[in-house]
Structure 1
């Protein structure tokens, strides 16, 4: 019982009826054009004139629904007044060979919605209006005279008494139920006719996939950049503390390296946070293989012994691949600092005609062994480094190998397909 009355007490029921009535009123400017065939054929029987007018009126309403702007305007209003979850229409990218705009049944969804919207609006407005008018008219006692209602040859007279009040309340209740019925029908129709079409659902899914891929890429960028910076600065700070009293020049060099590493990490962090906030970041994180010498210099300032082997035209590697290669080497060097046992770190980047080959080789161990305080357990990890590298390489259609290289070394090797610029 209470569940049946609840829709009558909701404001959304009557806002939905308002939406239906607005659709009915919006169709009125088309009515004069629908009367033109009747004006041109005045001798037609009265019934034929009514049917002809309604058919032409419905055709004009359907034509209005073919405009793209019609649906774009209807969706936010329906979402607001009907309280249904309707995503905004999205632009569907189609091949140049296919016709623009929706095809098949999708083309007629908005015209059909308009026709049903207008039909429900007029039905609800007329039936509900008559019931409300009857509910206000039947209790004639408060009018001070006998009251009645006449409409289209149908009349009701109020002769007084409590029966009239009961009938009046029944009319008002029926009017409210008409609002519930009209609103419920529109809510049921809206997702099916105004909701996304099959092509739009595919476009929305593709857009969500792109957003997830971009956020995943940003997570990798942040992990590589911040993880490397924290590892390097920890080692540099330990080096500076060790040599501060005996070699101030080396200590100052380590502190400068900490400053440069922190500044680079802050730039990357600002870019990532700007994208996550959907704001336009001031600077873009565009570190490529051209920045590799700077990365190696920072490692040397941290006390690492780096032995680079760079061959080929690294500057000609295309931007996306170059940025990914930089991050791969950065992650490999970070792992070497965290888990290596000291000694030289061999870094190789070679551009072949069809591939870019990257490798990092270091001695195995449980700590860096480069400075006091940077030994085993100094660098807790999340365990996402190698899986993240593998995923990055997979997205670039490359190959990755990571594992022991002899009894005392660890080797990370990556091969990426490459096209050099002309």
Structure 2
């Protein structure tokens, strides 16, 4: 019994009924237009006139429901008053251009149901409350009589207060029924259609792809900065007394690289917080000389071979190529065995070729045994990035003591 009374005690029940009553009241301005045909056809029977008014009134309410603005308002109101988890309507750019007939009439149907329940629930609860609270003898134990549309009920003796309480409970039960029907029908009629669900899934897929791209960007930027800064700090400590100029240069390089990494971090965190982030870092192949200089300050010997017009490579591809080279150089510096690091970038009309070659073995500046760790996300992340760009990826030993990373990306240079 207590479980059955719980809906009577929920605030969402009465906020839902309030929502229904608001819909009923909002339909009143359309009633005069529905009365016009009945006024013009006075010779028709009364029942026909009433039916005609109700049908025209429902039709006008349904027409209002065809507007996109109406649906947005209904979804927001249903979320707040009915406590129904409804997603926002699909943006116009993502929504299907021509929704099917069934999808087009879902919102008008729900609006007609909403208004009908509002009027039926409002009239019923009003009558029940009036009968329960306004019975002449409802609280005194004397005779009580209720008359409605020619129907009369007489309650005598001590049963009058029982009838009054019963009317009030019935009014509350009607409120529960109205709110329950609206709450049940809202996801089915106001929720996204099958086409809109596909559009929402596509939006979520794009969002996940963007988050994944940001994760790669952050991994590349922060990983390179920490590796370079660690080696540069070690170099600065060793030459601090013997060569203060070189030590200061290493410290400046640490400052520049960490500042660039902080810009990347601020941008990524701004996007993840769904706030309007600042200008996105746009490091492209034109920034490659600066990257190579930072590696030289870390004590690495870099032998670049750059050919073609790198500044003419399109922005998205140029940024991806920079990150690929950054990751390759970082891993060569971290896991290589010292010696020169060969960097080759060749831009041609039909493709962009990237390669990083370094020594492997034990000992040396890199204090490692290969160009990439045996675990982690460096090599996997690079392969995935290249795959998304429809390129070719190759990484592995190149001879007995060399490791080679080679990437070819399809590219179109402006004419």
Choose the corresponding residue for 1:342, options 335, 338, 342.
Answer: 338
Look up the match of 2:146.
149
| 2:135/2:164 contact within 8 Å kept | yes
- Output the TM-score relative to the length of structure 1: 0.93
* Cα displacement string for residues 308-361 of structure 1 (whole angstroms, at most 9, x for unaligned residues): 011111111100000000000000000001100000000011112211110101
Look up the match of 2:388.
395
* Aligned equivalents of 1:179, 1:65: Cα separation in 2: 24
* Aligned equivalents of 2:146, 2:362: Cα separation in 1: 95
Q: CA deviation at 1:143?
A: 6.8
Q: CA deviation at 1:144?
A: 9.5
| 2:138/2:160 contact within 8 Å kept | no
Look up the match of 1:5.
5
Look up the match of 1:356.
352
- Output the TM-score relative to the length of structure 2: 0.95
* Aligned equivalents of 2:294, 2:114: Cα separation in 1: 68
Look up the match of 1:298.
294
**Is 1:105 paired with 2:102?**
yes
**Is 1:23 paired with 2:23?**
yes
Q: CA deviation at 1:376?
A: 5.2
* Aligned equivalents of 1:366, 1:163: Cα separation in 2: 99
Distance 1:164 1:381, change over 3 A: farther
| 1:267/1:283 contact within 8 Å kept | no
Structure 2 unpaired stretches of 5+: none
Look up the match of 2:229.
233
Distance 1:298 1:190, change over 3 A: same
**Is 1:319 paired with 2:299?**
no
* Aligned equivalents of 2:126, 2:19: Cα separation in 1: 15
* Aligned equivalents of 2:92, 2:259: Cα separation in 1: 42
Look up the match of 1:173.
169
Aligned pairs for 1:258-297 within 5 A: 258-297=254-293
* Aligned equivalents of 1:281, 1:47: Cα separation in 2: 64
* Cα displacement string for residues 125-179 of structure 1 (whole angstroms, at most 9, x for unaligned residues): 12222222222134715479754332211233443x3211222222222211111
* Cα displacement string for residues 73-123 of structure 1 (whole angstroms, at most 9, x for unaligned residues): 11111111111001111224379xx9x553321110111011111111111
State how many pairs are aligned.
413
| 1:312/1:352 contact within 8 Å kept | yes
* 3-state SS in 2 of match to 1:286: coil
Look up the match of 2:202.
206
| 1:138/1:157 contact within 8 Å kept | no
| 1:218/1:272 contact within 8 Å kept | yes
Greater Cα offset, 135-144 or 124-133: 135-144
* Aligned equivalents of 2:299, 2:108: Cα separation in 1: 72
Q: CA deviation at 1:59?
A: 1.0
Once superposed, what is the RMSD of the aligned Cα atoms? 2.1
* Aligned equivalents of 2:279, 2:26: Cα separation in 1: 49
